[in-house]
Amino acid sequence: MSLSSKIKEVILCLNAGRVTLPYPFEVKPVPERFRGRPIFNAEKCIGCAGCANNCPAREILVFDPCQEVRIIKYIGRRCTYCGRCADVCPEGAITMSKEFENSTGNIQDIQQTLEIFMGTCQRCGRCYSGQGPLEALMMKGYRFDNMDKDRWVYQSEAYLDKEPAVKDIDLELD
Amino acid sequence: MLKNLCKKMFPRSLWVYHANSGGCNGCDIEVLNVLTPYYDAERFGIKLVGSPRHADVMLCQGPASRATAKALKRAYEAMPAPKLVFAIGSCACGGGIWYDTYNVIGPVEKVIPVSYYIPGCPPRPEAILYGVAVALGLVDKKVSPVQLKQVELPIPNYHPEDLIGKGEMVVYKKMDHV
């Protein structure tokens, strides 16, 4: 190797300067689309357990200790941070944070436990669902007499003002 | 005198042995990334060695599979006595996505005792460096278990006889059987 190439190499190395990040003392922000640890929000959660059904690693467990309380437990040991739980959550209660510094000496440190109050029906004591997807879309009824009146099928008051149906039944009974 | 100077210059320098027991090589690439000039791990005295007999730390990647569990245990036993084991990645921490297949035993802690866990799939090179810094005592760990409640137990209508007080918390006794 000639002397000139050596000199060139030295100049290259000097020009490069310092490339090493001073990492544990100064933190560089992560990329925008990075998915870190999922963070659960107990206020928004409705306890549908869709995250538990969709988790490919089966790391979100659901316990029902009594009728009105549901416990959702994120263990996070084999979580691959795929973000499916955040995608499927209808209320947006799970957000993929940008926390990646999760290393611990005790694996139970990354657990998250949610205790959710499940609203129950006063009569039967079961949990009831809220507005379903069809009701959220405000689907119009399929009955031909509803088309022009612009009424929604599931609203029972829609039949009360003119009450044709009730009269029909009465006539038949007579 | 030179010995004392060296002790001051390189306190607790770790020589690491890199053991993959059936992972997908994702974590291997991140570990090699840590040793590049960009995330220069030799600042902390970390050096990759080729034999477990020279090593202080074993970096485990991948779940303990049925074929490699014995070799992993032998490599652990070959390391000299003050030894640490780092479980890197979701597979080593908890068994990975395929934790319940026939050839996977589970996380590496089923075979060898693990002292530090670095979850991630794969963990960023920064996360691995952070784990090493936690082990060296340079930084404090950030995560802690979280418990969130919408309402306070007990709800007296349902089986109040099974709720037992445990310090400040009220615990449902039959919860483990559910």
Q: How far from the centroid of its chain's Cα atoms is residue B121's Cα? A: 13
Q: What is the DSSP letter of A52?
A: H
CA distance readout (Å), A121 to A43, A68, A118: 20, 10, 10
pLDDT for the residue A157? 44
Q: Do the strands B57-61 and B169-172 form a parallel or antiparallel pair, or are they unpaired?
A: unpaired
Nearest Cα of chain B lies from the Cα of A134 at a distance, in angstroms, of 28
- Domain assignments of chain A as residue spans, ordered by start: 30-129, 133-173
- Domain assignments of chain B as residue spans, ordered by start: 12-136
Tell me, letter by letter, the H, E, C secondary structure of B43-92.
Answer: HHCCEEECCHHHCCEEEEECCEECCCHHHHHHHHHHCCCCCEEEEEHHHH
CA atoms within 13 A on the CB side of B20: 12
Nearest Cα of chain B lies from the Cα of A151 at a distance, in angstroms, of 38
- On the question of a cis peptide bond just before residue A22, with omega within 30 degrees of 0, the verdict is no
pLDDT for the residue A18? 81
Nearest Cα of chain B lies from the Cα of A19 at a distance, in angstroms, of 6
Q: Do the strands B146-149 and A112-117 form a parallel or antiparallel pair, or are they unpaired?
A: parallel
Q: Which residues of A touch B149 (CB under 8 A)?
A: 42, 114-115
Contact call for B120 and A112, based on CB within 8 A: no
Alpha-carbon distance of B154 to A70, in angstroms, equals: 13
Nearest Cα of chain B lies from the Cα of A124 at a distance, in angstroms, of 14
Q: Determine the residue among B115, B149, B157 to mutate to test chain A binding: the one whose Cβ has the most chain A Cβ atoms within 10 Å.
A: B149
Per-residue pLDDT of A35-73, as tens digits, reads 888 999 888 888 888 888 888 888 899 888 776 788 899
Q: Which residues of A touch B155 (CB under 8 A)?
A: 66, 68-69
Per the CB < 8 A criterion, the answer to whether B39 and B33 are in contact is yes
Among A21, A37, A113, select the one facing B147 at the smallest CB separation.
A113
pLDDT for the residue A106? 85
Q: CATH number for the B12-136 domain, one of 1.20.1260.10, 1.10.260.40, 3.40.50.12280, 3.10.20.30?
A: 3.40.50.12280
In CATH, A30-129 is 3.30.499.10: no
With tokens 């090179």, the residue in question is B125
Alpha-carbon distance of B68 to B53, in angstroms, equals: 18
pLDDT for the residue B73? 92
Q: Which residues of A touch B120 (CB under 8 A)?
A: 81, 100, 102
pLDDT for the residue B146? 82
Q: Which residues of A touch B36 (CB under 8 A)?
A: none
Helix axes B26-34, B125-136, angle to 10 degrees: 60
What are the residues whose beta carbons fall under 8 Å from the beta carbon of B2, sequence distance 6 or more?
none
pLDDT for the residue B44? 79
Contact call for A78 and B97, based on CB within 8 A: yes
Q: Which residues of B touch A100 (CB under 8 A)?
A: 120, 123-124, 126-127, 130
CA distance readout (Å), B85 to A27, B47, B51: 25, 15, 15
Per-residue pLDDT of A63-122, as tens digits, reads 887 767 888 999 888 888 988 889 888 888 899 988 888 888 888 888 888 888 876 666
In three-state secondary structure terms, B172 is: strand
Q: Which residues of A touch B130 (CB under 8 A)?
A: 23-24, 100-101, 103
Alpha-carbon distance of A170 to B88, in angstroms, equals: 75
pLDDT for the residue A116? 84
Among B37, B115, B133, select the one facing A19 at the smallest CB separation.
B37
Confidence bin at A6 (pLDDT 50/70/90): very high
Per the CB < 8 A criterion, the answer to whether B108 and B72 are in contact is yes
Among A19, A41, A66, select the one facing B38 at the smallest CB separation.
A19
pLDDT in 10s for each residue of chain B, 178 residues: 555 655 555 566 788 899 998 888 999 999 888 888 888 888 878 888 989 999 988 999 999 999 999 999 999 999 988 888 999 999 998 888 888 889 998 889 889 999 999 998 889 888 888 888 888 777 778 887 888 877 665 444 455 566 666 666 666 665 555 4
ipTM entry? 0.71
Q: Which of B176, B150, B171 lies closest to A116, judged by CA?
A: B150
